[in-house]
Structure 1
Amino acid sequence: MGGLSIWHWLVFGVIVLLLFGKGRFSDMMGDVAKGIKSFKKGMAEDDASPPAPRHIEGQRTPDAAPSPTPTAETDRR
């Protein structure tokens, strides 16, 4: 009482197959697999190192040494 027998599970399985069909279920699982693959690919692209910054004429890069500023000693010469 309260438990499901093998016959209940068989009837349930037949109903599920009739509703979804063998082809529809496999197509659905294929779409899920494609989604997972594209998600993993997107995550791998985010982990890749960013491209090196391009040098633009007239702009200093953060790694460049600062240009020397004139001091009082150099102005006297």
Structure 2
Amino acid sequence: MLNNIGLPGLLLIAIVVLVLFGRGKISSLMGEVGRGITAFKKGVKDGSDEVDSASRDVTRDLPGAVPADRARDVTPGTTPVQGSDRN
């Protein structure tokens, strides 16, 4: 049923919502939605940073572990070269 709404149907729904709630209420609602999206993105970024920080802490605590920023300098089966300037 919802697959066949199309542009005229969406415009009709938008007009009905505008008449029912008014321009001011819809504007404040969209502001709240924007703040919610911003808070969600900030939460996702903070969570990602926390996971990265925890993985660095775990890697640092493991004996013989290669730090993540140096991991690409190590070929499997070899040891890292001290003072390597490769990036």
TM-score range, shorter chain: 0.3 to 0.5
Look at both structures and tell me which one has the larger radius of gyration over its CA atoms. 1
If each structure's helix is expressed as a fraction of its own residues, which one has the higher value? 2
Give the TM-score normalised by the residue count of structure 2: 0.41
Give the TM-score normalised by the residue count of structure 1: 0.46
